[in-house]
Structure 1
Amino acid sequence: MSLVSVAINIYKNQLTNKKKKQSQKQQNGYNSRLGWVFVSKDFTKETTKAVRTYGSLFNVSKDYTYFTPNTFYRNDLRRLSTLRWINAMSIDIDAKNDENTGMTLPDVQELITAAGLPMPSLIVQTPSKGFHVHWFLEQSKRASDKLNAHYSRIQTCIAEMLKGDINAIGPERLFRLPTDENTVFHSQERVSFDDLCEWFQLVQEQDQQDVHTYKKGFCKGYESLLQHPAVQKILEGVTKGQRDTACYTLALAYKAAGYDEKTAEAYLHNWNQKNTPQMCQIEVKRKVKSAYNGRFHAPSAKKIRELSGMLFSYVIWEEAKPRVERTYSHIEEWEGDVLAFIRAQGGQVSGAQRDLAEQITSSVDAEKKIPYATFKKVVARLEEQEILSKKVSGKGRGASTELTIIDEVKARRTQSEASKKEQDTGSKNNGLNSNTIKDTVVGGRALPLSAGYSLALPKETFLPVLLPTSSTRSKPAPIPGNVPSAFVSALSNRSFVDGRFIFRAWGKIQLAFQAFGITYHSIAATDDYLRLAVDAVGLTVEKKGSMIAGDFQGDECFLKYLFGTMKGLFANYRSDQITQFVEEIEGLGDIKLSHLGMQLEDELKAARVVDRELVKTKLAEIEREQSARQRRKHYHNYSAFDLNASLNQFKLFMKTDD
């Protein structure tokens, strides 16, 4: 099968027949469907070149050996983050270092059939007698973080089933360019990505059944992994054809058990002496390095079964991570944040949905905003539960959405149940099978945002609501690491030591600054702002009491006063800054004043400005000063002109009298 046929079947309209001229791009615009194909002479040295036309691809194929079946939106960076289109599922079956020695095309086809996979579209044989197997997709899939991750999971599973290289994983990888000489199989078969997803799901279900099937060989925990009879059998040494896989698998076992890389390498060099024949020492070192620097945290149970010939399976339990340590939040956690935001605005908010979503941040990290898509899901869920009412007025971009909490008791119950569920998951097991990487986005507990909030209940409602305060908590929560130490000290010195309370207090400080357009980063990075925050704590303690003095009036009362105090302090601070600036510019000459104005204009053009509104105000004051000076000059010149004219008239009058 020629490269021409393969390229057309894979890329279709992602490549053009000839390069577009700049005038055509300007006239027709840039085509977002096109993609860049990377080719390389040696994938280990990353000597890559990007092409975007079929003509260029065919021309460079004479000098280049590898290509990317999937395409990218950048021509200077072949990375997962720059991927545009996924066109094929590709697997590398390596035959180096005595692995898969003697494997033939019928062997590969038999493995594919036994795995329940569809017939591939293309199989290319490599010079080392390995194989690159490709399944072309019926419809190209637009790359995304979620899709890329699932692609890699399916690719890993297929590689394991076909004895492929589980390190050659990722939709951005290079594969050997097909030629008439190295193409050993081709067909017109295509597969949908949904079919591959269904196949993967079936395999996963089977793996879950295997855990029960191999219960006799069950291993619980990484600590006992190396002592399991199946692993001990591999540690006795293996024969030719198993050494590479065994070395990599054992390296992962040592890694999972907590050994550092150097210790694991030393143990595996000793293990290598039991092999017949032994591996090269450099290969042992490479396998260990690959295991410790790779994406897998633990060995594959399936590989241990194959290498040992014994029953083996294991499930590793991992405690759920706190929300503050996770990249993503659960939708129940975002529900609490949305309710808290609306409650803080008096139980009702209105505006464009995107604008509302921009204002809602995570309760444990003010830098993380709720994704717009998640915001819409949360609102829909709360609306279905009859907790929120949603009214939309207008259409298109001018539409305004009004969200109102209509059942505060149910909202509180929903938030409490979500918090309780998060706390329960912290002590329960989060089961992962042996092929699963520890994921930082699952599990966890959130700091309850709702703790201490007062309920805006109707007057006729007399439900007793007992809310925890920082004074009633028996076990303080840890202090979040993103709160400045100076602010923490200001509270802890007054015996406010609970992490939840300190975090909420810092959130009020951030909201106060946000009202003036000051970002979170700027608060922590500006000494004056931190000093104001500490002063706000001191003034609030004077009015609302403290834990150490025993006159504390409650969380809500304290936090509400802190917010107002912070806003007042910053308003006065900004006013003082402007007053001082006006006094300074009055003493500047015209040239220096003009130069200062240009500096402020350049500052406004920068991406990050600490206090943009203050800079704008200063610039306006400079313009007022310049205008005032122009008026004074004009008045002075006009007055001088009038005085000279009057003197001349007086002289004429005197001459006339004479």
Structure 2
Amino acid sequence: MNTVQKAINLILHKGLRKYKSKNSQAALVSITKQEKFENKMLNGKKNKKGSIFITRKKADLSAPFGTRGVVLSSEEATLDHVGQASHWTPNVYNFGTYSENGLRTIVGHTEKNLQQINCFVIDIDSKTFPMTAINDVALNAGFGVPTMILQTTKGYQVYYVLDKAVYVTNKKNYIAIKSAKRISQNLREMFAVSLPQVDLTCNHFGFFRMPSEENIIMFFEENVYSFKELQEWSKRQDDNKGKEFFAIPGKNNVIETPFSKNKPVEQPKQVEEAWFKQVINCTNIAPQQTKAGRNNAIFTLSLACFQSEVSIKEALDMMDQFNSNLEQPLDHVEVRGIVMSAYSGKYQAAHKDYIDRLFQTYATPGQVNSFRSPAAFWRKHKKQRVDRVRSHWHEWEADIIAFLSMHSKNKPVLYFTQSELCEELNIPRSTLNTVLKKSNKIYKTVEGKGKTAKTGLSTIGMLISFALREKGQKRESYSSYLNELFPQIGNIFLQAKNDSAMAEETVSYSLIEGLPAG
């Protein structure tokens, strides 16, 4: 079984039949035996199997008459489409079918039709940082390394797979879905603190890139997560943020978060511009996964409210009214979450590209021709360094880890003089020495003496990445050394001994470079 097969089987959690009902390539004996097993009652319940959806290309997600794709109900059929399908639904639905209008328009990929939740996926639309930065952010936040990372045309998709599927029922108004959404949103926000272009508004249980031999750049089969533990972690995240309506708005209506010193962009108010007035009166915004879909429309409108210094309460009322007027509205809870994300202080204003897309999609031709969008960007901003003069040492530690991850370029260790590092990070030398002494996440080695001495720094993520690119005895030696240095990553190398899906790249740095001097 190759890496792609392992990944898909791990994610699906036996939510589909094993073999195709027609034209299966498996032996008749195997099919008969498997069917008997699948028809048995397990723990007093029917051994239910569901369906997933795939699309051939990204454009099919926003086809004119709905999503164009294929319904699959077996693992065998899913594996047959590896390399042919661009996107899939890794979470399993009760059923899937096709619309009466033909054109391979699929029906059934809605939240209330979910059978089981298998994983959480974070979509990052940026390649301005190496893959190791993703692992560093997760480890630095006290979270675990992802199960799998895929490389996309614009960035990465990060998979956290559950150890057991969470089955969805309508009891207590689909409480499993609500709980899973909070986990998913908190995971996204965890990465958004340190990495650019993390998509905070895409469908939590929708379509994501399908694993293939070409796009898997990291896969650790043993790195699976307990839903209960994730729930507890998510609750702690919510408590730390003083979640949603229990939070007290600070200056400029920004929820008090580490980003709360960010201010709205000082320019003409976006709520008074033509695009805002046109879009907020629309009722036909479709539930499509594009920049002009419902989620992004509400997020962009909310950011315009934030930039215009509209209070959170007013923005919530406005977006609730907008959502209620839609032909296919979102759940109230989802709208509330989108507004609170827009007001988190991570962003300054609505993004020009999203404004253009919304206006061109829903405005009249005459309005489009006469419209000029503002130059404001929809992006997160880190607190100014002047606001962090008296930071705790662990905040400086996070800055150093982020800096190293962004500049690693596949090197296991980066070398600087202390003066260079202090100047680059704008950190006092005494503080730097304190951080390096206390940190158990940053590895330090020194080469040379006196004024010519250079400090070599690395992170766990950088060392893991380099170790998995080595082969044979070098890899074994390096892995053993790292396991002694950082016991917490032992399970990763245990799995890596058997199988590693890391992309093989030519690396010109020797094993010795990552080890202590002398």
Larger radius of gyration: 1
Higher helix share: 1
TM-score (normalised: structure 1): 0.35
Bigger RCO (CA 8 Å, 6+ sep)? 2
